[in-house]
Structure 1
Amino acid sequence: MANIVPTREQAYKLLTDYNKTEGLIKHALAVESVMLHFAELFGETDTQKWRIIGLVHDLDYEMYPDEHCKKTREILEGENWPEEYIHAIESHGWKICTDVEPVDKMEKVLYTIDELTGLITATALMRPSKSIADLGVKSVKKKWKQKSFAAGVNREIIKEGAEMLAMDLNEVIEETIKGMQKVAADIDLG
């Protein structure tokens, strides 16, 4: 059977079939928006692929946390998704839960910004406004240095990802904030 090219609607339905937690869905929407932002920033032609991969990157996380990234392969193969989508999703767990290394630019972006969106969300929620609208790189970097703040966020992965992309960390943070600002209302950071 030939692979399908999933639509955004199909991807969202699949996401919500496997994830019911509001926080995980908001995280998926944030990563989707940031992936779309980076695709546009880099002048990519298939921006839909970038956003769909961002949207479903944690597809298996809620139901199969001990098999994270591995169960996604099984689910998406069953849905006849293209191998490049599956590989990209698996690669965001490199050195954490898979040995699938991010190879192309899209995979490197996902690897880098997945953890970063969590740090940015946590930083925004600590602000009096609880908004990402006026959040700057400086505020995120200040929280970055506090290892006890958002302790679950792997800062080494973010740093390594920025290096893989040959981008300055401040620029990666700035562009990730911009991507998240586009869906601020949907992720309750408006």
Structure 2
Amino acid sequence: MNREEAFVIVTKYVKNQNLINHMLAVEAAMQFYAEKLNQDVELWRVTGLLHDFDWEIHPTLEEHPQAGVSILREHGVSEEIIRAILSHADHTGVPRQTLMEKALFACDEITGLITAVALVRPSRSLYDLTSTSVKKKWKDRAFAAGANREEIARGAEEFGVELWQHVDNVILAMRKIAPQLGLEGNLKPE
């Protein structure tokens, strides 16, 4: 399974552009860490891209992501990727064992919080966003209430990266695709 084939799956099952953007953001973060840790970049990218492909058709914890497994198998997705996708959701009972599985869990929720913080800034951009701004919003539990802070902190810990360094890393990763994500705002890349 390569990135292009994975994107075909995403566009077949996902119509909501915000959800596609989330998957692109996770893909970018996974690519960043694969490169940093000398891992299989294509494998990590595809895993990040596909992780929520079934959320629109299976939008409950009883179904997502487990009900999407048969679809992934029909499309020839490897068991390694499928296992990582299953492990990114605690309720599946699939423990995170590999570095890639831990990376996916660590990168999932944080991208949503970073996006939310970027969108409320005057610039509406990732280009001037730092972990300091995210940290200020972190304390306000009413802000981006759907972003599970405990899960974000646990993800960074399980992955072995200090939380605020992780936030900076994911911001850097997402900056590379800011135009695709609609998060250039009124700034241009440096």
Aligned to 1:93: 89
Kindly indicate whether residue 132 of structure 2 is the aligned counterpart of residue 138 of structure 1. yes
Aligned to 1:3: none
Kindly indicate whether residue 13 of structure 2 is the aligned counterpart of residue 21 of structure 1. no
* Contact map agreement 1:72 1:90 (CA 8 A) in 2: no
Root-mean-square deviation (Å): 0.9
Q: Tell me the distance in 1 between the aligned counterparts of 2:68 and 2:172.
A: 28
Q: Tell me the distance in 1 between the aligned counterparts of 2:75 and 2:10.
A: 13
Deviations 1:76-123 (A, max 9, x none): 1122221101000111112xx311121111111110111000000000
Aligned to 1:53: 47
Aligned to 1:169: 163
CA apart distance, 1:184: 0.3
Aligned to 2:182: 188
- Of 97, 117, 121 in structure 2, the residue corresponding to residue 123 of structure 1 is 117
Identity %: 46
The alignment's TM-score, normalised by the length of structure 2, stands at 0.93
CA apart distance, 1:174: 0.6
Paired AA for residue 74 in structure 1: S
Secondary structure at the counterpart of residue 37 of structure 1: helix
Secondary structure at the counterpart of residue 180 of structure 2: coil
Kindly indicate whether residue 106 of structure 2 is the aligned counterpart of residue 112 of structure 1. yes
Q: Tell me the distance in 2 between the aligned counterparts of 1:171 and 1:87.
A: 27
Q: Tell me the distance in 2 between the aligned counterparts of 1:32 and 1:165.
A: 16
* Contact map agreement 1:60 1:72 (CA 8 A) in 2: yes
CA apart distance, 1:72: 2.0
* Contact map agreement 1:72 1:86 (CA 8 A) in 2: no
Alignment gaps of 5+ in structure 2: 185-190
The alignment's TM-score, normalised by the length of structure 1, stands at 0.93
Paired AA for residue 42 in structure 1: L
Greater Cα offset, 113-122 or 73-82: 73-82
